[in-house]
Amino acid sequence: MDDVDPVRAANGAFYRAHEERDLDAMAEVWHRSERAVCVHPGWPVLRGWDQIAESWRRIFAGPGRNQFLLTGESFDVGADRAWVTVEENLVDGDRMVAVSALNVFALVPDRWAMVAHHASPIVPMLDR
Chain residues that interact with a copy of itself, rule: CB under 8 A: 35, 37, 39, 41, 44-45, 47, 72, 74, 76, 78-83, 85, 87, 100, 102, 104, 106-107, 115-116, 118, 120, 122
- Quote the least distance from Cβ 81 to a copy of itself, whole Å: 4
- Quote the least distance from Cβ 61 to a copy of itself, whole Å: 23
- Quote the least distance from Cβ 74 to a copy of itself, whole Å: 7
> Cβ closer to a copy of itself: 44 or 63?
44
Which residue in 78, 68, 126, 125 sits closest to 101, CA to CA? 68
- Quote the least distance from Cβ 8 to a copy of itself, whole Å: 16
Give kind and range of the element (H or E) at residue 18.
helix 4-19
